[in-house]
Amino acid sequence: MLLSDKIPAHVGVIMDGNGRWAELRGLPRIEGHRRGAERSREIITAAMEVGIKALTLYAFSLENWQRPKNEVTTLMRLLEIYLRNELNEFIEKGIVFKTIGEIWRLPENIQGLIAEAEARTAGNTGLTLIAALSYGGRNEIIRAVKKLISTGVSPDRITEDLFDSFLDTAGISSPDLIIRTSGERRISNFLLWQGAYSEFYFTDTLWPDFTKEEFFLALHDYQMRERRFGAVPMRAKS
């Protein structure tokens, strides 16, 4: 049972384990990604159902460019199909679609689909769905530093809020909860600045097996925690 007043506003997900899911079944890795994309659809709907405001999905990291060429090509093809198929759904469901990462490195047709999806959903007011594509947290921070310096700002005017406004996630609240599937317990360059006070939920479940029910379990686990942001527990205050 979820508490409606403790729903995390922003959830980030490191969707890991597609390859292993496929290999365990003697299937090509891309089949795992295909199943993974279907799972993303289910989790997006579940997030909307409980009133989550923003959902960031780590769909393709900068490091993923180093994968074998045919896996990168098929992942890009899958992304293209996904964007083509989902746009109408995003519009119907009131989803605001955004991306973070070095989008300029993606194939031109995908850049076009992203621009269209962002433009056509910008006026929506429902869930903000952020796809981290060609994304790396350190890279995002370096790009933000470069942009900030190029404004000629004087160092004593630099605050955390100002820096935040130069990140790809400008205007989006920090993630309250970050979920990682597949048994790995690492951040892997995901939302490094933004995740400073995030709660983490790790599960051995591989992403294609991560159901809506397990997503709700993760939310329940989050609701049982006490977030202190470095301060003392509420009961210890006098």
Instruction: List the catalytic residues.
Output: 16, 64
Please give the radius of gyration of the chain, using alpha carbons only, rounded to the nearest integer: 18
Q: Which of residues 79-108 bind ligand FPP (CB under 6 A)?
A: 79, 82
- Which of 64, 211 has the CB closer to ligand FPP? 64
Angle at 198 between CA 223 and CA 157, to 5 degrees: 135
Site membership for ligand FPP, residue 187 (CB under 6 A):
no
Of the candidate residues 16, 168, 176, 199, the single one contacting ligand FPP (CB under 6 A): 16
Residue 127 binds ligand FPP, judged by CB under 6 A: no
Q: Does 15 bind ligand FPP (CB under 6 A)?
A: yes
Number of residues that bind ligand FPP (CB under 6 A): 19
CA distances from 228 to 54, 77, 197 (A): 22, 43, 9
Q: With respect to ligand FPP, which residue has the nearer C-beta, 109 or 153?
A: 109
Q: Which of 45, 46, 37, 34 is nearest to 89 (CA)?
A: 45
Q: How far apart are CA 222 and CA 136, in angstroms?
A: 25
188 forms part of the interface with ligand FPP (CB under 6 A): no
Q: Is 12 in the site for ligand FPP (CB under 6 A)?
A: no
Buried b (16+ CB within 10 A) or exposed e, 200-233: bbbbebbbbbbeeebbeebbeebbeeeeeeeeee
List the one residue from 46, 55, 59, 144 that touches ligand FPP (CB under 6 A). 59
Q: Rule CB under 6 A: which residues touch ligand FPP?
A: 15-20, 33, 36-37, 40, 57, 59-60, 64, 78-79, 82, 182, 207
